[in-house]
Amino acid sequence: MADPRFYTAAGPFTLNELAAVSGASIGEGANSEARFIDVQPLFLAGPDHVSFLDNQRYVESFTKSGAGACLVHPDHASKAPKDMALLLTEEPYHAYARVAGSFYPPAALVNFAERSSPIDETAKLGEGTTVAPGVVIGPGAEIGRNCHIGANATIGHGVVIGNDCVIGANASLAYCLIGHRVTILAGARIGEDGYGFAPGSKEHLRVPQLGRVLIGDDVDIGANTTIDRGSNPDTVIGEETKIDNLVQIAHNVKLGKNCLVVSQVGISGSTEIGDFVMLGGQAGLAGHLKIGDGARISAKAGVIGDIEAGATVGGFPALPMREWLRGVAVMQKMGNKAKKT
């Protein structure tokens, strides 16, 4: 269930109502009056939840899911668990966007022009915390002891920041829980919408992003880095990880402990990265990958497949370092021969 600190769910809705909203048809034998309280990913969903399947990587999770109902392409209907109600559609992700939007309609915006202070009266600031001019702190936010919030920073509603943290000027934090001794430099964007759009034959729908960003203790985040909140699972940054300036971390990414991420790295959605991983500058990682503990990825590498623990890779597509260097040497020799002729 989406964190009630940040999100308020509508509903419940019957299967019949969800079918009408999504344009899906109800599978044979399902109870059209069954009621559902929320959306959840396949691996977290229970009998009161609606989920969806739109990626071959998650067929096994679908077959084992406890979801009470699922939006699914008819080709996968035969793989569903016995007690799961099916909402059959040619475009499951597109249909999910409509269902999730019904459970979580856009929230009303706070009009600070009507308030005497940009710091909400329900916000809590710990002893010794200092706030520079221009800071906005939303309802229910909690900031620990001995923190500093830089000029014009924005702390969204419900955000929790631990003790001894530094938030730089013009940074914005939303939908996130921050540990102790975290430094976030100027202009960073934490907890913004992930790039969640459901492509369709007639329109592309925005998918509600219902997760959070969870940042562990002793993390450093550089200037103008963006870390998107999860789409329903959370985006997670492990303890003592150090992230450079101008890094993009997409929704649902799991970044382990003690990782080093250098400037202009891009990590696509739902990729899981182990502990003590090193990512060189401008490396790009595709989505839904698994990077093992202690892996090292060289600058400008393009990673399109899983990387084993302890491996060192480079190039595009990323290959084991020796193999990549061997290929570079061959290309250089071919170029030298061409020059001589």
What distance in Å separates the CA atoms of residue 113 and residue 78, rounded to the nearest whole number?
55
CA distance between the termini of the chain: 67
pLDDT at res. 109: 61
329 falls in which pLDDT band (50, 70, 90)?
confident
Q: Name the average pLDDT for the chain.
A: 94
Order of strands, sheet of 25-26, starting from the edge strand that comes earlier in the sequence: 25-26, 85-88, 69-72, 49-52, 38-39
The torsion of the CA quartet 107, 113, 117, 123, rounded to 10 degrees, works out to 0
Per-residue pLDDT of 207-238, as tens digits, reads 999 999 999 999 999 999 999 999 989 999 99
Does 60 have pLDDT greater than 90? yes
Q: Can you tell me the mean pLDDT for 237-253?
A: 98
Q: Can you tell me the mean pLDDT for 314-322?
A: 91
Looking at the DSSP bridge assignments, the partners of residue 237 are 215, 255
Q: Crossing angle of helices 15-22/92-103, nearest 10°?
A: 120
**How far is CA 319 from each of CA 80, 302, 324, 335, rounded to the nearest angstrom?**
37, 9, 6, 21
What distance in Å separates the CA atoms of residue 13 and residue 36, rounded to the nearest whole number?
5
Q: What is the topology classification, in CATH, of domain 174-341? A: UDP N-Acetylglucosamine Acyltransferase; domain 1 (2.160.10)
The single-letter DSSP state of residue 3 is: -
Question: Which residues are within 8 A (CB) of 7 and not within 5 positions of it... i.e. 6 or more apart?
Answer: 104, 107, 210
Per-residue pLDDT of 27-52, as tens digits, reads 999 999 999 999 999 999 999 999 99
pLDDT at res. 2: 86
Question: Which residues are within 8 A (CB) of 93 and not within 5 positions of it... i.e. 6 or more apart?
Answer: 52, 54, 198, 199, 207
Does 166 have pLDDT greater than 60? yes
Q: Picking from 132-136, 139-143, 201-205, 257-261, which range would have the lowest pLDDT averaged per residue? A: 201-205
CATH of 13-103, one of 3.40.470.10, 3.40.50.150, 3.40.1390.10, 3.30.450.20: 3.40.1390.10
Per-residue pLDDT of 89-144, as tens digits, reads 999 999 999 999 999 998 766 565 666 789 999 999 999 999 999 999 999 999 99
pLDDT at res. 11: 84
What distance in Å separates the CA atoms of residue 146 and residue 274, rounded to the nearest whole number?
31
Question: pLDDT above 90 covers what percent of the chain?
Answer: 86
pLDDT at res. 16: 97
pLDDT at res. 259: 98
pLDDT at res. 201: 79
Can you read off the two tokens belonging to residue 37? Answer: 């309280």
φ, ψ at 183 (rounded to 5°): -115, 125
pLDDT at res. 111: 64
Structural domain boundaries in the chain: 13-103, 174-341
Question: Which residues are within 8 A (CB) of 51 and not within 5 positions of it... i.e. 6 or more apart?
Answer: 39, 40, 41, 42, 45, 65, 67, 69, 70, 71
Does 341 have pLDDT greater than 60? yes
Give catalytic residues, as residue numbers.
251
Does 62 have pLDDT greater than 70? yes
Can you read off the two tokens belonging to residue 254? Answer: 């799991």
Buried b / exposed e along 53-90 (16+ C-beta atoms within 10 A): bbeeebeebbeebbbbbbbbeeebeeebeeebbbbbbe
305 falls in which pLDDT band (50, 70, 90)?
very high
